[in-house]
């Protein structure tokens, strides 16, 4: 009973107001940018690394899978860390951990060494979303969260947009190892800014000691919960799609479209920019529909089914005659997938309470990590034995499969929300 009373107190605490929460959101956005510069370094350098380390596409797929295995391994520990000890210290620890791994990649001399450091990096980088979603749920009202998540998540596309020209510049002027060292240094620069700016909301800070004492009951997640499996399956199918574009598009442009490394640096950012716009549009569209009085379950269905159908554009990438048209189709697919992702992550805040979000994000991350582990291995084999065409076919249809899974298994959870919905116009 005491736990239940405390849960109600936390859930009814008013979201933070004022300018500080937007500064915090800006820091979440910036660390997500840095996070994805870290991730993109290997993919942009893939044509060079394959030659220097003598890697086939199948072996490169194993390097990508090692990172995803690290993400999957770290998800639950990172989620528990954020729930038990708070986002302030938890996110700082995650950033310090993955920045060290990023710097160590500059010392890799073999594919195995590169894969091991990527695994290490993955165990920390999964904390970016566990921590970020908890911060958004604490500082922003339900009607603002999808937009806030869209802004925070758009850092992934900004990072992926900045990465190609930045990394190619460093490669040409200072060597490929400098790209890893700069990415690590950016994370270390961010740490003191977070320490100075972020403060736990007062209602939660006052209860920190009690929260630790009751955390086992207060944050328990049942594996029998259909809503949890809805979220996990949704992320299982949707997660590898954007990961494919992050980690394989430079290699695709180099080997299938015959672009040089310099051309990739000059042009590969364009589809990622469209993806960034998609993330902001996904959050903005959901917020607009909520402000006009649409129930949250209908908002999610409208935004997610529409964008998942638009993801089918990936089917036409290998059929595009010219490189310019291929870039356009890739951009449309990335716009749609990031639009979808903003609402997928927001659906976690729909179906679960704030004090459960760290673990829910962790469980969903395990599901996404499993598919992220398997899909690069499959991609490497398909590319080596056939071509990129069957891979584009898969990434075209997986977002729709994830969306269908969410609403089939999560319909009871959304039905409960609709029965206790906030009246239109309420904050």
Burial, 24: exposed, middle or buried (Cβ in 10 Å; 0-12, 13-18, 19+)? Answer: buried
- Give the pLDDT score at 422: 45
Q: Is the pLDDT of residue 425 over 70?
A: no
Q: Are 2 and 106 in contact (CB under 8 A)?
A: no
- Give the pLDDT score at 390: 95
Task: Name the phi and psi angles at 353, rounded to 5.
Answer: -80, 165
- Give the pLDDT score at 382: 92
**1-4 contacts at long range (C-beta below 8 A, 24 or more positions apart):** 2/214, 3/214, 3/217, 3/218
- Give the pLDDT score at 312: 94
Q: What pLDDT, in 10s, does the model give residues 325-349?
A: 998 999 999 999 989 988 888 888 7
With a CB cutoff of 8 Å and minimum separation 6, the contacts of 247 are: 39, 42, 43, 46, 64, 376
- The pair of structure tokens assigned to 100 is 């060290």
Q: Cα 46 to the chain's mean position, in Å?
A: 21
pLDDT band at 17 (very low <50, low <70, confident <90, very high): low
- Give the pLDDT score at 277: 86
Q: Are 103 and 184 in contact (CB under 8 A)?
A: yes
Rg of the chain's alpha carbons, rounded to an integer?
21
| Strand ranges for 301-406 from DSSP E | none
The rounded mean pLDDT for the chain is: 82
With a CB cutoff of 8 Å and minimum separation 6, the contacts of 206 are: none
Determine the Cα–Cα distance for residues 334 and 311; give it in Å rounded to an integer.
Answer: 8
Structurally, what CATH architecture does the domain formed by 13-203+223-419 represent?
Answer: Up-down Bundle (1.20)
Domain range list for the chain? 13-203+223-419
Q: What pLDDT, in 10s, does the model give residues 27-51?
A: 999 999 999 888 888 888 888 888 8
């Amino acid at each position: 009973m005491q736990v239940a009373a405390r849960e109600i107190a936390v859930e009814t605490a008013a979201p933070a107001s004022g300018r500080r929460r937007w500064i915090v959101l800006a820091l979440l956005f910036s660390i997500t940018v840095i996070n994805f510069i870290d991730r993109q370094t290997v993919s942009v350098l893939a044509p060079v690394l394959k030659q220097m380390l003598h890697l086939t596409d199948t072996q490169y797929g194993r390097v990508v899978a090692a990172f995803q295995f690290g993400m999957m391994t770290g998800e639950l520990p990172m989620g528990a860390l954020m729930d038990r000890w708070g986002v302030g210290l938890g996110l700082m620890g995650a950033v310090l951990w993955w920045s060290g791994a990023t710097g160590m990649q500059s010392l890799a001399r073999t594919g195995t060494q590169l894969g091991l450091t990527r695994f290490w990096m993955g165990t920390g980088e999964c904390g970016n979303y566990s921590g970020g979603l908890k911060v958004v749920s604490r500082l922003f009202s339900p009607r603002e969260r999808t937009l806030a998540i869209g802004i925070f998540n758009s850092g992934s596309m900004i990072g992926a947009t900045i990465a190609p020209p930045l990394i190619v510049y460093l490669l040409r002027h200072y060597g490929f190892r400098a790209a890893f060292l700069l990415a690590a240094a950016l994370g270390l620069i961010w740490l003191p800014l977070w320490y100075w700016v972020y403060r736990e909301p007062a209602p939660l800070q006052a209860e920190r000691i009690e929260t630790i004492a009751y955390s086992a009951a207060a944050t328990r997640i049942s594996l029998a919960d259909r809503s949890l499996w809805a979220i996990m399956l949704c992320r299982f199918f949707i997660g590898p799609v954007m990961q494919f574009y992050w980690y394989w598009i430079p290699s695709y442009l180099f080997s299938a479209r015959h672009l040089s490394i310099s051309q990739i640096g000059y042009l590969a950012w364009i589809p990622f920019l469209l993806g960034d716009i998609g993330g902001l549009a996904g959050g903005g569209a959901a917020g607009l529909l909520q402000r006009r009085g649409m129930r949250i379950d209908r908002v999610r269905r409208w935004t997610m089914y529409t964008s998942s159908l638009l993801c089918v554009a990936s089917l036409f990438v290998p059929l595009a005659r010219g490189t310019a048209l291929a870039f356009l189709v890739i951009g449309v697919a990335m716009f749609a997938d990031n639009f979808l992702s903003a609402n997928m992550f927001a659906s976690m805040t729909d179906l679960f309470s704030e004090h459960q979000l760290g673990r829910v994000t962790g469980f969903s991350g395990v599901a996404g990590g499993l598919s992220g582990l398997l899909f690069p291995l499959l991609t490497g084999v398909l590319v080596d034995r056939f071509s990129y065409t069957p891979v584009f076919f898969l990434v075209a249809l997986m977002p729709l499969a994830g969306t269908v899974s969410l609403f089939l298994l999560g319909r009871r959870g959304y039905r409960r929300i609709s029965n206790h919905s906030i009246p239109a116009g309420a904050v």
